[in-house]
Amino acid sequence: MRGAFRFFLPWVLALALALLCGVLLSQLLRARSESRSVSAAPVVTAIKKIAQLATVEAEISDVLRFEEVKSFLIFDFPKTATIRMRGRVIAGFDLTAPEFRVDPDAAGRMLHVRLPAPRILAIDPRLEWFDETSGIFNPITPQDRTRWMLWARGQLARAAKDSGIEARAVEQAREMLSGTAEAFGWRVEVASSSMRGPEPTPPPTP
């Protein structure tokens, strides 16, 4: 009996030692993983804040002329108006969109940032009306002015897009995010969804 005990004792000790090493290794790997995720938290927070500030703006200036004609029998009664418009257009990213993601790779100290499509965030128009023509049979109404002002805002957005404001927003975000990540000792890979946005307000029906 004593001989059998001596025979199995080394095996029992070896098994206990293996189990202890397994537990210690598991705790070490868990602690290392937690330390990595914690170390990524500050740079991820900074990246999200910088992405919110990554906007560009453009100053747009143009002149629009509206003309609508009402016909009665053989007579035409036109009403016209001209708007001198100036405005500041701001483009950036809607970070509440589901496309926005920041995925850290702690092992390679790399951040994978997925930005939503850039869009027009704000339009600050300054409109000046002049050279108006209307008559008793076809007067300019408050509804006409509201509709034309909406159309002018749409034209400002269209002109800003044509000037490349969305592409500049992506480039601005890439530069700012790269600089922020490098300050923390990380690298960043920025991808953006296809550039699209809300359609401008259609012109008034003649």
Our count of domains for the chain comes to: 1
Q: Tens digit of pLDDT for each residue in 54-84?
A: 889 888 888 888 888 877 777 777 888 888 8
Q: Tens digit of pLDDT for each residue in 157-179?
A: 889 999 899 999 999 999 998 98
Mean of pLDDT values over 15-37:
45
Residue 152 lies in a domain: yes
Residue 69 lies in a domain: yes
Q: Tens digit of pLDDT for each residue in 34-49?
A: 444 446 788 888 888 8
CA distance 123 to 57: 10
Q: What is the pLDDT of residue 39?
A: 62
Q: How many CB atoms lie within 10 A of CB 169?
A: 26
Share of the chain above pLDDT 90, in %: 10
Residue 175 lies in a domain: yes
Q: Which residues neighbour 156 within 8 Å (Cβ) at sequence distance 6 or greater?
A: 60, 62, 85, 87, 89, 123, 125
By residue range, what is the domain housing residue 184?
Answer: 40-192
Give me the chain's average pLDDT, please.
76
Residue 48 lies in a domain: yes
